[in-house]
Structure 1
Amino acid sequence: MTGIVTLTAAGAIDATYRVGILRRGAFARADSYTREVSGKGVNVSAALAAGGAPTAAVVVLGADDVRFARCGLTAPLLRIVEVPGATRVNTSIVDADGATTKVNAPTPPLSAEAWDATVSAVRDELAAREQPWLVISGSLPELAGTHALVDLTAVRAAARERGARVAVDTSGAALDALLADPAGIDLLTPNVDELSAAVGRPLTTLGDVVTAAREIVARGVGIVLASMGADGLLAVTDQRVVFARAEAPHVANTAGAGDAALAGFLLGLTRAPAAEAAGADPLAVAAASAAEWGAHAVAHASTLVAGPPQGIRALVDTEPDLTRALNPEGDA
């Protein structure tokens, strides 16, 4: 069985409040409230499943919330690694203008036993699939009793053993550690701020983004999929650049758009052989799919998407104007 395995080492419960007006320091009563099992890898798997791809989401969750997780819409996708206590809660507040204010709870540390169980779950899910993808998403927790993040060496080794291609969507210290040793990373998905931090300089044009992405590719990464928020996205390899942008029908909630875009890119790659046989550009097909799924997610009130994009078509440019300036507010 082929498929895509996602790893969320810091699972979460996403709480989304919709309010009319959000004012700092003022009382606000929510018009609606949703609560769902989340974490970036879970979001990716949910979008993949909505697109018809076989997927499994390895996710670390607190025991207090496992019953809730097993009753949710994503329950069939979840491979839960249970740890004591409650799962962290990430809160999104969406106002009437569609602006999303997001507060993520701190990532709790994992015990060595819990991390071993997580690695074992990833290994088992990869072993059940032929030529799979492994998507490592979101924050990485510290190993309990240390001041160091959990070590991905065993996870990456499991991917190599199974011939899995590896996609990574993380930031901060976890991204720094991976970029110091990027061997075996086939796809990296930073936003502009994360890419800027990785190369140590501001990025103000499409050309700046491409140059920075190529520096990452030169370290051994296959493809950099750089998200520029409202400015669209760029898929960059050592030889190619593809720009794609899709307009959302409306803005309901920007949380989770990057996860849906990653899922869309992977869904596009699964169609690459057929696209190439039909004379289409596989990288352009994947980039268009990423932009369309990202726009689709923005129009959803919740973090998780339901069903594939309908009526959303991406603008794709295989020779973009690299002098184009980025919108300072473009990255969400």
Structure 2
Amino acid sequence: MTGIVTLTAAGAIDATYRVGALRRGTFTRAERYTREVSGKGVNVSAALAAGGADTAAVVVLGADDVRFARGGLTAPLLRIVEVPGSTRVNTSIIDAEGATTKVNAPTPPLSPEAWDATLSALRDELGTRPQPWLVISGSLPELAGTGTPVDLAAVRAAAREHGARVAVDTSGGALDALLADPTGIDLLTPNAEELSAAVGRPLRTLGDVVTAAREIVARGVTTVLASLGADGLVVVTADRAVFARAQAPSVANTAGAGDAALAGFLLGLTRGPAATAAGADPLAVAAASAAEWGAHAVAHASTIVAGPPHGIRALVETSPDLDRVLTAEGEA
């Protein structure tokens, strides 16, 4: 199976609190609490490893938390780039009804030396894997002293040097900058809100999403995997749109579901030749895998998925109803 390297330039410690109810301005004691090394790329690598893939997670972590990271379940996957101080903490508060409230700490700036070390670690991991995938995930830190995010040009150059295909899951200014020049991006994974912002208009139907995704494809991205929350997901290329949706057995924690879906998609894609040989549609296989892994993650209490999905089967439509109206935010 193809090797997959993830890059998390802004690693995090995920702190998850479970409460009976969350009321603004009052004292609440958590019923349960977990703490784990995270960041979107780490979450993706954890799911990939659970699915049997060869993966490594290049992640920037504060020195204060490295010992904790090396004692965790994901430790064998981590290629840690150590920087001074502590790692930012991203907090999830989950109430008895399964609603998740997230507060993410600001992303600290990265020194030029730390960014060079990150690039070196990335090249090392890509160099040990033939025809790898590179997944760039999460927030991008500011390069200290510049006032601008780290430049992904060197990351994309490393990918080209090692013949890696590139998937990107980011947002905000980093996504805007990427969309200005998306050449060489094989897979982009926006959610509906991010895709709407990218094209500058609301997306009310599945057809709206497909049209918007095709505009991104026209800029140079090969494939767009658009997550639609409770409505599922849709995979869009220049000439195809494949919809998939899977029912989660329960809702325990929505944080990390998109990361698991991306991992599931890549797991499905890397099995594409076998699917084709068996007479299956490889894009449909990848879409189904993404939906199943995403639903599986929602049923997990933590943001790290520990094993593959069992008993979850996606509904896949290779000619979806483009007039389907999307669920309004907050109505799922």
So what's the TM-score if we normalise by structure 1? 0.99
Correspondence for 2:81: 81
User: What is the CA-CA distance between 1:331 and the residue it aligns to?
Assistant: 9.4
Aligned to 2:307: 307
* SS in structure 2 at match of 1:254: coil
Question: What amino acid sits opposite 1:200 in the alignment?
Answer: G
| Structure 1 residue identity aligned to 2:206 | L
> For the Cα contact (< 8 Å) 1:227–1:331, is it kept in 2?
no
Check conservation: 1:234, 1:242, Cα contact below 8 A: yes
SS in 1 for 2:61: strand
Relative to structure 1, the CA distance from residue 87 to residue 97 in structure 2 (aligned partners, 3 Å threshold; closer, same or farther) is same
Per the TM alignment, residue 329 of structure 1 is displaced from its structure 2 partner at its CA by 2.1
Q: Is residue 233–residue 245 contact of structure 2 (8 Å, CA) maintained in 1?
A: yes
- Quote the residue 1:174 is aligned against: 174
The equivalent of 2:13 in structure 1 is 13
Alignment of 1:1-332 (within 5 A): 2-329=2-329
Q: Deviations over 1:79-135 (max 9, x none)?
A: 000000000000000001111000000000000000000011101100011000000
Give the TM-score normalised by the residue count of structure 2. Answer: 0.99
Quick check: 1:231–1:330 contact (8 Å CA) kept in 2? no
Q: Confirm or deny: 8 A CA contact 1:63 1:84 kept in the other structure.
A: yes
Instruction: Tell me the alpha carbon deviations over residues 27-83 of structure 1, each in whole angstroms, 9 at most, x when there is no partner.
Output: 111110000000000000000000000100000000000000000000000000000
Measure the CA separation in 1 of the matches of 2:257 and 2:220.
26
Identity rate of aligned residues, in percent? Answer: 86
RMSD across aligned C-alpha pairs, in angstroms? 1.0
Q: Distance in 2 between matches of 1:161 and 1:230?
A: 39
C-alpha separation between the residues in 1 aligned to 2:2 and 2:167?
Answer: 16
1:186 Cα deviation after fit: 0.3
- Return the letter of the residue paired with 1:82: E
For residue 284 of structure 1, what is the amino acid of its counterpart?
Answer: A
Amino acid at match of 2:71: C
- Count matched residues: 332
Any unmatched runs of 5+ in structure 1? none
> Which ranges of 4 or more aligned residues in structure 1 deviate by more than 6 Å?
none
The AA in structure 1 aligned to 2:291 is: A
- Tell me how far 1:270 sits from its aligned partner: 1.1
Contact 1:205 1:325 (C-alpha < 8 Å) held by counterparts: yes
Q: Deviations over 1:143-187 (max 9, x none)?
A: 001111000111100100110000000001100111111111000
Q: Distance in 1 between matches of 2:145 and 2:82?
A: 19
